[in-house]
C-alpha cells in the first residue's frame, strides 16, 4: 500500500501555481514510490495523468476489496495471539467496510446501482473468503509483527527520494528482517515473477538505506490463489534496483522538463480510466500545467538547454 502522490517541487526549482486537471496545484514529481515507478514503466502518459495532472479515477471493486482486506489483516494483530482466529478476522470485515466508507465516501459509488444490496453482499463474502484463505498460508498466532502499514522514506545520495508503505515487517529474535506484502489477486506465472518482486526489492532498498540492514526475506502472500512467493535478496540485487530507479528518475525528470509524455499501448489500456484523454484512443491530454524548457537556439551545437 502506498501514497498516491509523489510530493512537491519542480525540476527547475521554481514554484508552480498552475492548477492541474484534478483541481489541485500542479507540481513536478519530487519522489518515487513502487506504484508510481510501475506506472511510468507501464506508460509514461499514465504517470503524468496520475502524478502531475492528478486526474480523478473511479474506485474499482477489486482495488477497494484489497484495501478492505489489508485493513482487516492489520487490525487482527491488535488482538492477543490466541484470539487471532479466522472467525474473528471475518467478523472484522463489516466494521472495516464501514470505516472505509467513512474515510473514502467515493467507494459507495461502487454499489450505487445495487439497491437490494445483493452485489455488496457477494463482494463482502469474497473479501471474507480472501481473509480466511490467509489462515492457510500463515499462522497469525505465531507472528508478532514489528511494524504494520509502515511508511518508509529515504533519500539516496543522488537526491532521489524513495517512499512507500510496507504491509508488514517481521523481525526475528536474531535481528533478521522479513518484509511481507499481501496481494488479493493471483500469483503471477513464473516468467512474470521478477516484475512482481520489483516492489519488494524497492522496499528492501529503502530499508537497507535507512537501517543499513539487508532484509533476510521478501515475502508476497497471494490470497487470490493461495500462493506464497519468497525471495532472499543480497546487496547486489539492491544495487541493481537502485541503478534502475536512478535511470527511471532521469527519464521522469526529462519528461517533466520537456512535457514529452508518450503513451505506451498495452493490453492494460482496456482497464485505464483515462482513455478520453489519451491520443491512442482519439483523446487529447489536458494542457500541460508545468513550465516546459525549450532548446536555446544559441547553444544548439553543445546541446545546452535555455531557461524554461
3-state secondary structure of 242: helix
Q: CA 108 to CA 102: how far, in whole Å?
A: 9
Neighbours of 275 (CB within 10 A): 13
Q: CA 179 to CA 35: how far, in whole Å?
A: 17
Q: Model confidence over 94-142: pLDDT tens digits?
A: 999 999 999 999 999 999 999 899 999 999 999 999 999 999 999 999 9
Q: CA 259 to CA 250: how far, in whole Å?
A: 14
Locus of grid cell 469474497: 126
Q: CA 210 to CA 152: how far, in whole Å?
A: 9
pTM of the model: 0.86
pLDDT of residue 32: 97
Q: Model confidence over 36-49: pLDDT tens digits?
A: 999 999 999 999 99
Contact criterion met (CB below 8 Å) for 154 and 206: yes
Q: CA 7 to CA 36: how far, in whole Å?
A: 12
Which residue stretches of 48-159 are H helix?
61-76, 86-103, 118-134
Give pLDDT < 70 ranges for the chain.
1-24, 295-308
3-state secondary structure of 217: strand
Amino acid at each position: 500500500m502506498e501514497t498516491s502522490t509523489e510530493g512537491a517541487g519542480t525540476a527547475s526549482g521554481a514554484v508552480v501555481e498552475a492548477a492541474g486537471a484534478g483541481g489541485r496545484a500542479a507540481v513536478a514529481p519530487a519522489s518515487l514510490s513502487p506504484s508510481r515507478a510501475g506506472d511510468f514503466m507501464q506508460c509514461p502518459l499514465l504517470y503524468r495523468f496520475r502524478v502531475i495532472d492528478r486526474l480523478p479515477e473511479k474506485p474499482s471493486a477489486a482495488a477497494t476489496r484489497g484495501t478492505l482486506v489489508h485493513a482487516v489483516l492489520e487490525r487482527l494483530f491488535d488482538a492477543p495471539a490466541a484470539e487471532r482466529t479466522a472467525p474473528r478476522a471475518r467478523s472484522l470485515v463489516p466494521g472495516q467496510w464501514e470505516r472505509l466508507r467513512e474515510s473514502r465516501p467515493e467507494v459507495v459509488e461502487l454499489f450505487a446501482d445495487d439497491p437490494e444490496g445483493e452485489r455488496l453482499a457477494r463482494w463482502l463474502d469474497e473479501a471474507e473468503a480472501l481473509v480466511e484463505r490467509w489462515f492457510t498460508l500463515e499462522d497469525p498466532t505465531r507472528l508478532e509483527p514489528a511494524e504494520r502499514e509502515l511508511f518508509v522514506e529515504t533519500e539516496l545520495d543522488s537526491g532521489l527520494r524513495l517512499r512507500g508503505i510496507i504491509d508488514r515487517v517481521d523481525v526475528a529474535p536474531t535481528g533478521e528482517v522479513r518484509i511481507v506484502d499481501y496481494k488479493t489477486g493471483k500469483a503471477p506465472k513464473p516468467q512474470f515473477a521478477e516484475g512482481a518482486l520489483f516492489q519488494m526489492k524497492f522496499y528492501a532498498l529503502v530499508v537497507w538505506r535507512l537501517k543499513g540492514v539487508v532484509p533476510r526475506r521478501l515475502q508476497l502472500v497471494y490470497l487470490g490463489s493461495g500462493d506464497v512467493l519468497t525471495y532472499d535478496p543480497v546487496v547486489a540485487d539492491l544495487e541493481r534496483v537502485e541503478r534502475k530507479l536512478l535511470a527511471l528518475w532521469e527519464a521522469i525528470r526529462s519528461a517533466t522538463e520537456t512535457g514529452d509524455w508518450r503513451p505506451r499501448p498495452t493490453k492494460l489500456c482496456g482497464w485505464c480510466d483515462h482513455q478520453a484523454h489519451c491520443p491512442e484512443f482519439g483523446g487529447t491530454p489536458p494542457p500541460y500545467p508545468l513550465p516546459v524548457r525549450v532548446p536555446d537556439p544559441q547553444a544548439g551545437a553543445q546541446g545546452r538547454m535555455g531557461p524554461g
